[in-house]
Structure 1
């Protein structure tokens, strides 16, 4: 069964490392196994500004270029740093899922877990900023 991807005008998608951008509405049918990321799943290097975002970026690169061992090494070292830093039960459960996907080389599913960790991290940063603003007032 083919994977159907519907793109809006100007939306981009990465297919096996090639960046494709839709000019007008487009529908792509993928008939075989390829690495695909839609525009909303793509993170630019300059967007990897926090530990969870750096982990997402490393997982994304490991998914897009599985033959590059350095990306998997980056994923492992960033994972270890996050696992040691995040203490919440929700984050630890996500880290457990992430470890499973990393162990099987399923970096696409690892990206979904990284998005959970980014949300968790954003919540921590928001609370810290709020506490800092209240202390300054």
Structure 2
């Protein structure tokens, strides 16, 4: 039995579904009746927001989801990025989650990979700010 996904959009809000960009002219609710890859506009990272290593990784994975025609190029970039990230981060939580992200991407589960990356933002921020007390509490 397939699950349906109910999605509500505000007027002017966009959603990215299977590489297509849709914009609601007015408030709308609809159901996805089959499997589809989608990303809500509120989770789309703009290039000027890629200010940290994990945000750059997110942007790359996001490109795989939003632009399926160029997903191979984005995947190649992801593959180039992941090893240096694993080497750069000493925090075990981030390292373990990066390995999980690799598995998710390898299995085509980019939406879940994005969710995991987003969950690491507070920890990354604490580490980059040198706030090891906060980093240990976030982890």
Q: TM-score range by the shorter chain?
A: 0.7 to 0.9
Cross-structure match for 1:56: 58
Paired residues in the alignment total: 128
What residue in structure 1 maps to residue 35 of structure 2?
33
Structure 1 counterpart SS, 2:42 = helix
CA contact (8 A) 1:10 1:23 kept: yes
TM-score by length of 1: 0.81
TM-aligned CA deviation for residue 8 of structure 1: 2.3
Residue 16 to residue 103, structure 1, CA distance change in 2 (3 Å): closer
* Alignment gaps of 5+ in structure 1: 129-137
Unaligned runs of 5+ in 2: 132-139
Which one has a bigger Cα radius of gyration? 1
Deviations 1:68-123 (A, max 9, x none): 31110111111112111111121122112112112212111111121133222211
Give the equivalent residue in structure 2 for 1:16.
18
TM-score by length of 2: 0.80
